[in-house]
Structure 1
Amino acid sequence: MPSDSSSDKIKLAEEFTQAERDAVYKAIATRRDVRDQFLDVPLPDDLIGRLLGAAHAAPSVGFMQPWNFIVIRDVQMRQAAFEAFSRANEEAAAMFAPERRDLYRSLKLEGIRKAPVSICVTCDPQRAGPVVLGRTHNPRMDSYSTVCAIQNLWLAARAEGVGVGWVSIFRDDDVRSLLGIPERVEVVAWLCLGYVESLYTEPELAVKGWRQRLSLDELIFEERWSEP
């Protein structure tokens, strides 16, 4: 006969306390992509170390740990990166319809110059050799693993009161040349990090009318793909 005693229940992994669970969900719900609101306050080295440690704790396909982190503090380097971004940003603006172009240009994207630290995150597809457990049928799994590391860093930064902005508007060759990144290595992200006085209560692009959050119910299917 089945028993309801606690000793007969399935053993689970160690659970968080309610306060710990709440903290995790709070970090997820309040994480924001910071574009402009950085304070001119240095980040301590030990704090940056903790954030990189959180990134390095991410899961990776075949445990290959394909990431590298280039920490950039030099003002001239960040200015050169901003100039590369500005060129690409003008190209990007021209791709939008005229009625969206003005709104696009109104979005402040000053993180590279204002944040005291940038971190370029890369992915080395050769880190674990030519055949990697779990990557045999999807060669992009190493890049996906690197994005997991970025999300780890981002959530840890939120818990530390540090804002993060992901700058994706670059010509790849410009970043590669600026930082001396080998051809085999993929440039995945340029992150801007710094303290902020406050964060938007909702994603900035939603607040400023660029796009609104989709309903989760419309994105969930059961058993197989179907129309919502």
Structure 2
Amino acid sequence: MKILETIHSRRNIKNFKSDSIDKELLNKWLQAGTMAPNHKMTEPWEVLVIGEETRAKLNHKADFFDAPVVLAVLSKHGATEIETYENLITTACFVQNFNLAAWEEGVGTFWSSVGNAQKNREILGVSEEYDVVGVIGVGYPEEINAPKDRKPIQEKIKYLP
């Protein structure tokens, strides 16, 4: 797939097959995540692979749509408020790189903010020096939803003098 095709075709998956995900492929896509823009090379991300016991405790109404793999992606706080903000942004780019790399190979993701809830932070063992950028279900799609309409970018561009 070409990058624009990958970007335009990617969807949040809400119905996964039970097929397992090869660990080497998962690591390959996570490694692609590390190529995200990364101010001062802080590499603030950490990835938790969530096992069945922990997953069962998380408060997610759809249990991540039965995805065979569930990850939590964390962003380490920086030395300053600005660095913490930059770390969050680069970690979000890490997640997007991961999502696109997986999608290009036919594997879908569902990105949830459920990890931000204090109860879920405790279940995941996340300390106060980290933010939870997302909990992500990963697996082969059972079905792919149609794209949702987006506003034309022209409506969102402002030209400054």
- TM-score normalized by the length of structure 2: 0.90
The question of 1:34 aligning with 2:13 is answered yes
- Which residue in the other structure is 1:145 paired with? 90
- Does residue 62 (structure 1) correspond to residue 40 (structure 2)? The answer is yes
Q: Percent identity?
A: 27
Question: What is the aligned partner in structure 1 of residue 77 from structure 2?
Answer: 125
Given that 2:116 and 2:132 are in contact with CA atoms closer than 8 Å, whether structure 1 keeps it comes out as no
Give yes or no for the alignment of 1:223 onto 2:153: no
Question: Structure 1: any 5+ residue segments left out of the alignment?
Answer: 1-21, 87-109, 207-211
- Give secondary structure in 1 for the equivalent of 2:144: coil
Aligned counterpart, 1:114? 66
Of 61, 71, 78 in structure 1, the residue corresponding to residue 55 of structure 2 is 78
1:26-84 C-alpha deviation (Å, 9 max, x unpaired):
1110111112x101111011111111111122121111010000012x22322211xx1
Deviation at 1:198, TM superposition (A): 3.6
Root-mean-square deviation (Å):
2.0
Inter-CA distance 69–155: structure 2 relative to 1 (3 Å threshold): same
Query: How many Å apart are 1:178 and its aligned residue?
Result: 0.9
Q: CA deviation at 1:171?
A: 5.0
By how many angstroms is 1:199 displaced? 1.7
Cα distance change on mapping 1:45 and 1:170 into 2, 3 Å: closer
Match of 2:138 in 1: 193
Is the CA contact (8 Å cut-off) linking 1:34 and 1:164 kept in structure 2? Answer: yes
Kept in 1, the 8 Å contact 2:115–2:135? The answer is: no
Normalised TM-score (structure 1): 0.65
Task: Provide closer, same or farther for how the CA distance between residues 119 and 170 of structure 1 changes in structure 2, counting only shifts above 3 A.
Answer: closer
Q: CA–CA distance in 1 between the matches of 2:65 and 2:160?
A: 47
Q: Alpha-carbon deviations, 1:85-126, whole Å to 9, x = none?
A: 33xxxxxxxxxxxxxxxxxxxxxxx35250011110001124
The answer (yes or no) to whether the contact 2:16–2:65 under 8 Å persists in 1 is no
